[in-house]
């Protein structure tokens, strides 16, 4: 049987049959039949409590999902990743973000070479640099210490550090400013530096390839801004460092490779926040907190590698996501952190999950006949409750939710009438999961005295699945565990779907397409256009709008 024949596996077919049965049952019935369900279908590891009792599964569904994982040799896939096998087949690369957080005494071989000492050598250089900048020992061209850090990068070279710097702001140097520039829209750069003094500003140019259009454009803009303000080309040496795998390109740009922090082709962009790409995070929170974050990642790695599937968090989360996507037909997942510091977490997860598992062919190129990666989106609670939750509660789409919350606030604020506002926050988290699962029957609504005409409008069907993740406090360690949980759950799904979760040909396409179009936009006279009629007209219209041509002359 080819690996493409996932849906022909007996385990898959048994799941399908069992799903037909489970679809007749409401979460109300599942909870009523098992008073201990809420505790039984919950597990805890490395400081994360994971409650999946409000997912529409029973013991048999869970057993069959684990059997499916075995049938697809998930243990073999996990071992292959940790061993450094080239599991990113289309790019012929190992996938070893787990090596980025391996302890100093670990050994992980890529082509016979132990990469762990290389990882720690870079971490040590980052530490020395971060200490120098944070202590003021690193001086700018005019002798001033650095108070502003601007990280330039995009996609995987941006989203992780942006998310981590926001998530760990409470652990950051409040006397330093951290900004991020990603978009090729000049507004992004202009707004990021508007109020900064170039003499106190350090730029970190982050690009694995160092050829990405957006990043190079912004890096050139930054260099011009810095040199113009400081009046000397030589200022670049003190105000620019690079993070890249491409030393030659870094040199070509004009940054001395002595000021380059390296990483390796076995680190995927969206899995790189704990490589040197995280230099801005380390500058913000300091080397010790950064290493605590890595320890959190590593703790989850070890859990993933060794815990039995029954209580393996990434395996459970991955399997439940697959169940929702493939059997219950859910096309999306809402990620709802009840923690303001995690406001960029859904955006970060969008890349992690959708770039990894947004694939339509198997590893050997066959078209899949099952859904792959769902659409991830979300906003922090409680804000979302006042906008899109309506659709989750009463709309026609099934939207499984991940609720994320913490026991202790980082910013305690007394609530009116006693307690802390944090209690109010978490009360909302808990109540939302309950309402989604159990809803409100027409009878309950009637008993509240609701006029008959309004009963259907005020009835909530419930049976909307969700998981809840609770941890004690949002620490660097906890953030590491949380990110690694999602990284590995994406891996679990990719392994079962038999797709390459580590390539991104769709991104490469974008990088190519704009190159042709830009030439047509900037040509002094309109070039001969050979696109479809819509694309041709848009190019003409843009040129006319840009050049302020009168309406009559517009295409």
Q: List contacts with ligand G6Q (CB under 6 A).
A: 154-157, 207-209, 212, 215, 268-270, 355, 504, 507
| Contacts for 545-548: CB closer than 8 Å, 24+ residues apart | 546/521
Which residue lies nearer to ligand G6Q by CB, 85 or 249? 249
Residue 109 burial (C-beta neighbours within 10 Å; 0-12, 13-18, 19+) = middle
Please say which residue, 84 or 269, places its beta carbon nearer to ligand G6Q. 269
Q: Closest residue to ligand G6Q, Cβ-based?
A: 155
CB of 506 to ligand G6Q, least distance (A): 10
| Known catalytic membership, residue 511 | yes
**Residue (75 or 358) nearer to ligand G6Q, CB:** 358
Strand segments (E) across 378-513: 401-406, 466-471
Q: CB–CB of 205/188 below 8 Å?
A: no
DSSP type of residue 42: E
- At CA 323, angle to CA 320 and CA 324, rounded to 5? 90
The least CB distance from residue 138 to ligand G6Q, in Å, is: 24
Q: How far apart are CA 160 and CA 148, in angstroms?
A: 19
Which CB sits closer to ligand G6Q, 323 or 486? Answer: 486
- Which residues, including other chains, have CB under 8 Å from residue 129's CB and lie 6 or more apart? 138, 241, 261, 279
Question: How far apart (Å, rounded) are the C-alpha atoms in residues 499 and 1?
Answer: 16
Closer to ligand G6Q by CB, 249 or 420: give it.
249
Which residue's CB is nearer to ligand G6Q, number 147 or number 270?
A: 270
CA distance 290 to 286: 6
Tokens encoding 200: 């106190």
- The single residue listed with the structure tokens 């909307």 is 464
The kind and range of the H/E element at 136 are none
Least distance in angstroms from the C-beta of 487 to ligand G6Q: 12
Residue 510: CB minimum distance to ligand G6Q, A: 8
Name beta bridge partners: 367: 361
Residue 352 or 470: the one with the smaller Cβ distance to ligand G6Q is 352
Give the 3-state secondary structure of residue 378.
coil
Cis peptide before 503 (omega within 30 of 0): no
Closest CA to 310 of 67, 77, 79: 67
Closest CA to 6 of 59, 69, 62: 69
Out of 36, 367, 386, 515, the active site residue is 386
CA distance 255 to 412: 44
Task: Please give the biggest Cα pair distance in the chain.
Answer: 78
Show Cβ contacts of residue 480 under 8 Å, excluding neighbours closer than 6 positions. 101, 274, 292, 293, 294, 295, 296, 297, 298, 299, 300
Output the smallest distance, CB 176 to ligand G6Q, in A.
24
| Beta carbon nearer to ligand G6Q, 161 or 381 | 161
What's the min distance (Å) between Cβ of 377 and ligand G6Q?
Answer: 18
To the query of whether residue 386 is one of the catalytic residues in this protein, the response is yes
C-alpha pair distances (Å), 172 with each of 125, 180, 298, 476, 483: 20, 15, 22, 11, 19
Minimum distance of ligand G6Q from residue 216's CB (angstroms)? 8
Minimum Å gap between C-beta 276 and ligand G6Q is 11
Cross-strand partners of 88: 93
Q: Of the residues 26, 139, 343, 511, which is catalytic?
A: 511
Q: How far is the CB of 219 from ligand G6Q (least distance, A)?
A: 10
Nearer to ligand G6Q, 253 or 438 (CB): 253
Say whether 145 sits in a helix, a strand or coil: strand
- Angle, helix 74-83 to helix 476-497, in steps of 10 degrees: 120
Catalytic pick among 355, 379, 487, 520: 355
Residues serving a catalytic function are 355, 386, 511
């Amino acid at each position: 049987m080819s690996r493409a024949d996932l849906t022909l596996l007996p385990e898959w077919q048994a799941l399908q049959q069992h799903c037909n049965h489970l679809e007749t049952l409401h979460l109300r019935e599942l909870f009523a039949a098992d008073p201990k369900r809420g505790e039984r279908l919950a597990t805890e590891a490395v400081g994360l409590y994971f409650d999946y009792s409000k997912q529409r599964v029973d013991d048999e569904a869970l057993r069959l999902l684990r059997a499916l994982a075995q049938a697809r040799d998930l243990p073999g896939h996990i071992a292959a990743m940790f061993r450094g096998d080239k599991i990113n087949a289309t790019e012929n690369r190992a996938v070893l973000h787990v090596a980025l957080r391996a302890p100093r005494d670990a050994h992980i071989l890529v082509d016979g070479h132990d990469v762990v000492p290389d990882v720690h050598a870079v971490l040590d250089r980052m530490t020395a640099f971060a200490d120098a900048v944070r202590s003021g020992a690193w001086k700018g061209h005019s002798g001033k210490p650095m108070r502003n850090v601007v990280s330039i990068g995009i996609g995987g070279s941006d989203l992780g550090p942006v998310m981590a710097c926001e998530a760990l702001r409470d652990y950051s140097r409040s006397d330093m400013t951290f900004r991020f520039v990603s978009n090729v829209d000049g507004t992004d750069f202009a707004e990021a530096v508007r109020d900064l003094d170039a003499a106190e500003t350090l730029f970190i140019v982050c690009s694995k390839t160092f050829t990405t259009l957006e990043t190079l454009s912004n890096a050139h803009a930054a260099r011009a801004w810095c040199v113009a303000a400081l009046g000397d080309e030589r200022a670049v040496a003190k105000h620019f460092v690079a993070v890249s795998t491409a030393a030659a390109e870094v040199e070509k740009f004009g940054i001395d490779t002595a000021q380059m922090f390296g990483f390796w082709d076995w680190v995927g962009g969206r899995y790189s926040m704990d490589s040197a790409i995280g230099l801005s995070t380390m500058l913000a929170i300091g080397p010790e907190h950064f290493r605590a974050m890595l320890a959190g990642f590593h703790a989850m790695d070890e859990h993933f590698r060794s815990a039995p599937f029954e209580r393996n968090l990434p395996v459970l989360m991955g399997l439940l996501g697959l169940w929702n996507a493939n059997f219950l037909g859910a096309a999306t997942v809402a990620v709802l952190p009840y923690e303001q510091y995690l406001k960029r977490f859904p955006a970060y997860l969008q890349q992690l999950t959708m770039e990894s598992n947004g694939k339509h062919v198997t590893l050997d190129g066959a078209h899949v006949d099952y859904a792959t990666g769902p659409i991830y989106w979300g906003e922090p609670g409680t804000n979302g409750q006042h906008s899109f939750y309506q659709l989750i509660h009463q709309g026609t789409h099934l939207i499984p939710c991940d609720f994320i919350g913490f026991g202790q606030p980082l910013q305690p604020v007394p609530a009116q009438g006693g307690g802390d506002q944090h209690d109010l926050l978490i009360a909302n988290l808990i109540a939302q999961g309950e309402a989604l699962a159990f809803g409100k029957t027409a009878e309950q609504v009637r008993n509240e005295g609701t006029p008959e005409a309004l009963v259907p409008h005020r009835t909530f069907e419930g049976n909307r699945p969700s998981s809840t993740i609770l941890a004690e406090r949002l620490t660097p360690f906890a953030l590491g565990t949380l990110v690694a949980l999602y990284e590995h759950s994406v891996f679990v799904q990719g392994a079962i779907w038999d797709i390459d979760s580590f390539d991104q040909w769709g991104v490469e396409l974008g990088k190519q397409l704009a190159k042709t179009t830009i030439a047509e936009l900037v040509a002094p006279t309109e070039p001969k256009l050979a696109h479809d009629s819509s694309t041709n007209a848009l190019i003409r219209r843009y040129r006319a709008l840009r050049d302020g041509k009168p309406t009559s002359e517009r295409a």
